[in-house]
Amino acid sequence: MDILPQLILNSIIAGAIYTLIALGFNLIYGATKFFNLAHGVLAAVGGYAVFFFAKTLGWDIYLSVALGILLAGLIGLGLDKLIYRPLRKKKASNMILMIASLGVFTALQAIIAILFTSQFQTLSRGAGSQKIYEIAGGVITQTQLLILISGLAIMAGLILLFKYTLFGKAVKAISDDEEVAKIVGINTNKIIGYVFFIGSAIAGWAGILVGFDTGIEPTMGMSLLLKGVIASIIGGVGNIYGGVLGAFLLGFVENFGIWKISGEWKDAIAFAVLILFLLFRPNGILRK
């Protein structure tokens, strides 16, 4: 069997998952300029919301997914209102905001573990009965295809949003200089709130898809977040295209890296790439 097509597909699938995390992360970073570590746990929130609505309560799966995305978005918005905005008001440094988000991450993860136990759960009903598509000599499942398509669609959506809407321009203005944006009459708090809602909803969606593809556990946020952050840094943090580029690059490097050597090196390779970029191109592929 020719291994190459499947390796490429595996890389694309991994890259698409990282894309979904990196997109939301970069969106929020672009507007607020701090590393929102709580972003990872919102993926778990999305996944567990669907688990609760669809599996525990037995609600319709589409409704549950919609509610899961909404809930992740609302929690993101709530976090901004209750924690980050007061901190910004007090002129807290980005370091303090990051520590606060780490606190949020840990607390939410613990709450999920208390409510749902630490057991690994899958969202898909008939495990192993998924539809499989053959593409150019490799195979891809329905969920994985959805991950890929939605990753690209969300990217396109965000680009259009930034280019053609007033909201997008406002975010850009805040990103350039929040004080000046305020002076020209932009309600920065409101706009940042929307950004948190959208970014967190994307993270929730990512968590749901991962739940259908592999499964969910309370600690899933950290590994997703790490890869998402690496992708963002490689690609150019705060840059939509950069995040996507970085995500796919990471996916390819990881999966091709272990082609000829043992798989235990996978994480080592990912972090080695990160360190190389930090050393030689700290602003990422696409400088902002």
Contacts with 254 (C-beta within 8 Å, 6 or more apart), sequence order: 11, 14, 266, 269, 270
- Give the nearer residue to another protein in terms of CB position, either 1 or 183: 1
Out of 13, 49, 173, 230, the only residue in the binding site for another protein (CB under 8 A) is: 13
Stretch that binds another protein, among 1-9, 44-52, 84-92, 238-246 (CB under 8 A): 1-9
Phi and psi based region of residue 216 (left: phi greater than 0; alpha: psi -120 to 50; beta: remaining): beta
Q: How far apart are CA 229 and CA 26, in angstroms?
A: 9
Biggest CA–CA distance in the chain, Å, is: 63
| Contact between 202 and 150 (Cβ < 8 Å) | no
Contacts with 48 (C-beta within 8 Å, 6 or more apart), sequence order: 112, 115, 116, 216, 218
Out of 264, 275, 279, 280, the only residue in the binding site for another protein (CB under 8 A) is: 264
Instruction: Based on the shown chain and the rule CB under 8 A, indicate whether residue 7 belongs to the binding site for another protein.
Output: yes
Question: With contacts defined by CB under 8 A, how many residues of the chain interact with another protein?
Answer: 35
Instruction: Based on the shown chain and the rule CB under 8 A, indicate whether residue 56 belongs to the binding site for another protein.
Output: no
Q: How far apart are CA 191 and CA 47, in angstroms?
A: 26
* Closest to 65 (Cα-Cα) out of 218, 209, 214: 209
Write out the two tokens for 44. 């778990």
**Tokens 């890389």 map to which residue?**
11
Instruction: Based on the shown chain and the rule CB under 8 A, indicate whether residue 141 belongs to the binding site for another protein.
Output: yes
- Give the nearer residue to another protein in terms of CB position, either 100 or 231: 231
Distance in Å, CB of 217 to another protein, minimum: 7
Distance in Å, CB of 224 to another protein, minimum: 10
Site string for another protein, 86-125 (x = CB under 8 A): --------------------------------xxx-x-x-
Instruction: Based on the shown chain and the rule CB under 8 A, indicate whether residue 180 belongs to the binding site for another protein.
Output: no
Q: How far apart are CA 72 and CA 169, in angstroms?
A: 25
Instruction: Based on the shown chain and the rule CB under 8 A, indicate whether residue 126 belongs to the binding site for another protein.
Output: yes
- Give the nearer residue to another protein in terms of CB position, either 7 or 159: 7
- Give the nearer residue to another protein in terms of CB position, either 58 or 128: 128
Q: End-to-end distance of the chain based on CA atoms, in angstroms? A: 43
Q: How far apart are CA 265 and CA 124, in angstroms?
A: 30
What secondary structure letter does DSSP report for 265? G
- Give the nearer residue to another protein in terms of CB position, either 12 or 240: 12
Instruction: Based on the shown chain and the rule CB under 8 A, indicate whether residue 258 belongs to the binding site for another protein.
Output: yes
Instruction: Based on the shown chain and the rule CB under 8 A, indicate whether residue 3 belongs to the binding site for another protein.
Output: yes
Q: Amino acid identity, residue 119?
A: Q
Q: What residues between 207 and 226 interact with another protein by CB under 8 A?
A: 214-215, 217, 223
Binding site for another protein (CB under 8 A): 1-3, 6-7, 10, 13-14, 118-120, 122, 124, 126-130, 132, 134, 139, 141, 214-215, 217, 223, 254-255, 258-259, 262-264, 266-267
